Amino acid sequence: GAVVSQHPSWVICKSGTSVKIECRSLDFQATTMFWYRQFPKQSLMLMATSNEGSKATYEQGVEKDKFLINHASLTLSTLTVTSAHPEDSSFYICSAPPVRARPTNYNTEAFFGQGTRLTVV
Amino acid sequence: RKEVEQDPGPFNVPEGATVAFNCTYSNSASQSFFWYRQDCRKEPKLLMSVYSSGNEDGRFTAQLNRASQYISLLIRDSKLSDSATYLCVVKPGTGGYQKVTFGTGTKLQVIP
């Protein structure tokens, strides 16, 4: 099945630095990528939706200048956490809708990257 | 009211027990429903889709009640390996290119 590869799986960085997280679709073209954040004991919260070749759409309350999203190709979307602070420490995960195998395909699942655990110290 | 609500648990059950989780959703227009499983510090993985008529996959049974706007997951003959957090997922439509809304998850701990 379709695979989304996310890198790095974990990162520790100093406060004030920037961290880039990559998500690649390995055997399909991902025109859309969803980026989520999950704090401990909380649900996955959608941060933004990236679309290849256009600007990302951010959810309410998510700072677009802090969380830079780039979707320059059909197989790569990146999330950069700029000037990271300890409160940005979280589990970040991307998800791409699958390529429809058949026109009648429905109730399609989402394919997730492996997640990135960010710790800002 | 949250869009998707779940009892966070934890549910501590002995091996072999039957356990059920419920999930309520607020958007009556929602069309697609799923149960995902998330192990600690891992990505969520699809457990099963939930169909209007209800569906079963081995020890797992999912039900949808549109009138009351909830879905349920029943696990029979619990195994230690079933210990995980179970996420209820709701989509507004059936297409793939749509946002999904996750519940907070229900933690299950199966005890020897």
Convert the pLDDT of each residue in A77-116 to its tens digit.
999 999 999 999 999 999 987 655 443 344 456 788 999 9
Q: Do A43 and B105 touch (CB under 8 A)?
A: yes
Closest Cα in chain A to B95? A106
- How many other CB atoms are there within 10 angstroms of residue A36's CB atom? 25
| pLDDT at residue B86 is higher than 60 | yes
pLDDT at A106: 41
pLDDT at A19: 97
pLDDT at A2: 58
Nearest to B97 among A32, A44, A45 (CB): A32
pLDDT at B29: 86
* CB A106, CB A121: distance < 8 Å: no
Closest Cα in chain A to B47? A109
| pLDDT at residue B97 is higher than 70 | no
Averaged pLDDT score across all residues of chain A? 87
pLDDT at A101: 43
Q: Do B100 and A110 touch (CB under 8 A)?
A: yes
- How many other CB atoms are there within 10 angstroms of residue A87's CB atom? 9
CA B85 vs. chain centroid, Å, equals 9
> DSSP label at B10?
-
Mean pLDDT of B40-59: 89
Convert the pLDDT of each residue in A91-102 to its tens digit.
999 998 765 544
Mean pLDDT of B75-103: 85
Which residues 20-59 of B have a C-beta within 8 angstroms of A?
Answer: 32, 34, 41-46, 49, 51
Which one is predicted more confidently, A100 or B11?
B11
State the Cα–Cα distance between residues A32 and A23, nearest whole angstrom: 11
| pLDDT at residue A68 is higher than 50 | yes
What's the token pair of residue A9?
């799986």
* CB B83, CB B57: distance < 8 Å: no
Nearest to B94 among A44, A93, A107 (CB): A107
Asked if B97 is an interface residue toward chain A (Cβ–Cβ < 8 A), one would say yes
- Give the pairing of strands A116-120 and B84-91: unpaired
